[in-house]
């Protein structure tokens, strides 16, 4: 029996027994997940999951009992990891932030620069991952802070703070005929081949929902993890792009034009998240307060202690 097997049990419950999602969240392959489950069941001598063919449908009675124990053990593991921090200098150490490419590339550089200039004893570690992986890193204690648009706000393991709000925008090559439209709408955009984010990244779910709600088709010719790739292919005239508007730079992207999307797309909110009940190092709290306007360390500590509260 090992910690990884317990994490698989807990993550299987969170991901509704979707083995693909479990594998992505824990950064391991699906065959490794299946092997680990088989070995665990062989060791215990009982089946933990209800199966139909190769599909996992849910927990057996023993699996349900084990889930509660696994969550308790994993919680204690996180406490053990954080125990040493109580004896560290509150002004020095390593701050690990898990976030997406969009946040790391376009929103965080100025904030991190200000922070590191003011806190030279802190080593800043930046992990760029998918939203599922970001949540898993924060939950396991491998990250102190998580920042993402998707997946964090409705996860009851975390306390979340609104970081900032933004809209998608449309990028087109210079002189594109879409620029001749006086009133650009979602319907106008749907008539062109589209290049945008992978599902699960940078507000893609909201984009799809708006097209679906208005019964408009999406001719998506390319999906990418980050805006830089999207912009590169729009420059090659493969299609028009839908990106987070802050990813457009008028000077660097001089061959492209941004069509503002505040009247086309729904508003998105990026959240900063912390684990409920975690011990918060002084220099971590300082970074959180730098990101969240009008938040003091005293207020932050009160919210952290109230582990049943999710800040909306």
- Least confident stretch, 2-6, 106-110, 121-125: 2-6
Asked if 124 and 144 sit in the same domain, the reply is yes
Instruction: Clarify whether residues 173 and 229 are in a common domain.
Output: yes
Q: Do 173 and 258 fall into the same domain? A: yes
Average pLDDT, the chain: 87
Is residue 312 a part of any domain in this protein? no
- Name the one residue in this structure whose structure tokens are 């489950």: 37
What average pLDDT score do residues 269-291 get?
88
* CATH number, domain with residue 26: 1.10.10.10
Confidence tier at 309 by pLDDT (50, 70, 90): very low
Assess whether 261 and 277 both reside in one domain.
Answer: no
Going from the C-alpha of 279 to that of each of 7, 22, 37, 127, the distances in angstroms are 21, 27, 32, 21
Q: Which of 189, 166, 193 is nearest to 179 (CA)?
A: 189
* Residues of the chain above pLDDT 90, percent: 48
Quick one: average pLDDT of 165-177?
95
Q: Is residue 60 part of a domain?
A: yes
| pLDDT, mean of residues 59-77 | 85
pTM: 0.71
- Same-domain check for residues 97 and 138: yes
pLDDT in tens, 181-194: 889 999 999 999 99
The reply to whether 41 falls in a domain is yes
Rounded Cα gap, residues 171 and 240, in angstroms = 6
10 and 58 together in one domain: yes
Does 262 lie in the same domain as 200?
yes
Mean pLDDT along residues 110-139: 92
Residue 14 domain boundaries = 3-83
Q: Is residue 175 part of a domain?
A: yes
Per-residue pLDDT, 242: 97
Per-residue pLDDT for 308 more than 50? Answer: no
265-279 pLDDT tens trace? 999 999 999 988 777
- Alpha helices for the chain (secondary structure H): 3-14, 19-26, 30-44, 61-83, 101-102, 109-118, 131-140, 186-189, 204-213, 227-235, 282-291, 297-305
pLDDT given for residue 253 in this prediction = 94
Q: Do residues 76 and 159 both lie within one domain?
A: no
Candidates 173, 149, 31; CA nearest to 101 is: 149
Q: How many domains is the chain partitioned into structurally?
A: 3
Last residue of one domain, picked from the residues 83, 98, 121: 83
Identify whether 310 is part of a domain. Answer: no
Residues 169 and 258 sit within 8 Å (Cβ to Cβ): yes
Q: Is residue 36 part of a domain?
A: yes
- Residue 82: per-residue pLDDT: 63
The residue from 67, 83, 99 where one domain ends is: 83
pLDDT category of residue 310 using cuts at 50, 70 and 90: very low
Whether residue 130 sits in one domain with residue 17: no
pLDDT at res. 31? 87
Beta-carbon contacts of 36 under 8 Å, excluding residues fewer than 6 positions away, are 4, 5, 8
The answer to whether residues 180 and 250 belong to one domain is: yes
- The pair phi, psi for residue 95, each rounded to 5°, is -105, 120
Tell me what pLDDT residue 267 has.
93
Choose the final residue of a domain: 42, 60, 83: 83
Q: What is the pLDDT of residues 73-110, one digit of tens each?
A: 888 777 766 655 554 446 778 899 999 999 999 999 99
For residue 158, give the CATH number of its domain.
3.40.190.10
Q: How far apart are CA 220 and CA 241, in angstroms?
A: 10
- Residue 157: predicted pLDDT: 87
Residues 248 and 108 in one domain: no
The larger pLDDT score, comparing residue 44 to residue 237, is at 237
- pLDDT confidence of residue 112: 95
Q: Is the pLDDT of residue 307 over 70?
A: no
- pLDDT range class, residue 311, cuts 50, 70, 90: very low
pLDDT value for 312? 36
DSSP symbols for 181-237: -SS--HHHHTTS-EEEEPTTSTTHHHHHHHHHHTT----EEEEESSHHHHHHHHHTT
* Bridge partner residues of 257 (DSSP): 172
Q: Are residues 63 and 200 in the same domain?
A: no
| pLDDT for the residue numbered 42 | 85
- Measured CA to CA, the distance from residue 210 to residue 83 in angstroms comes to 46
**Strands 55-59 and 220-224: what pairing?**
unpaired
Q: Is residue 65 part of a domain?
A: yes
């Amino acid at each position: 029996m090992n910690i990884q097997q317990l994490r698989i049990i807990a993550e299987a419950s969170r991901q509704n027994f979707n083995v693909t999602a479990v594998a992505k969240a824990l950064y391991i392959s699906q065959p490794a997940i299946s092997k680990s489950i088989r070995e665990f069941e062989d060791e215990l001598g009982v089946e933990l999951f209800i199966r139909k063919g190769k599909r996992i449908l849910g927990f057996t009675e023993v699996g349900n009992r084990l889930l509660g124990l696994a969550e308790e053990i994993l919680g204690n593991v996180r406490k053990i990891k954080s125990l040493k921090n109580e004896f560290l200098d509150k002004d020095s150490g390593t701050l690990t932030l898990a976030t997406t490419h969009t946040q790391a590339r376009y929103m965080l550089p100025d904030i991190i620069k200000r922070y590191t200039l003011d806190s030279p004893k802190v080593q800043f570690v930046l992990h760029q991952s998918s939203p599922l992986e970001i949540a898993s890193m924060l939950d396991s204690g491998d990250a102190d802070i998580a920042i993402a648009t998707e997946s964090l706000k409705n996860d009851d393991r975390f306390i979340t703070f609104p970081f900032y709000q933004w809209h998608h925008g449309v990028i087109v090559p210079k002189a594109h005929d879409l620029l001749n439209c006086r009133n650009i709408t979602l319907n106008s955009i749907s008539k062109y081949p589209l290049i945008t984010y992978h599902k699960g990244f940078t507000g893609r779910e909201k984009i799809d929902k708006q097209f679906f709600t208005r019964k408009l088709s999406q001719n998506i010719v390319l999906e990418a993890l980050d805006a830089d790739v999207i912009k590169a292919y729009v420059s090659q005239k493969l299609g028009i792009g839908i990106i987070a508007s802050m990813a457009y730079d008028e000077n660097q992207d001089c061959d492209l034009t941004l069509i503002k999307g505040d009247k086309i797309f729904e508003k998105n909110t990026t959240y900063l998240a912390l684990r409920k009940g975690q011990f918060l190092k002084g220099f971590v709290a300082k970074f959180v307060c730098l990101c969240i306007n009008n938040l003091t360390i005293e207020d932050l500590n009160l919210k952290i202690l109230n582990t049943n509260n999710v800040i909306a």
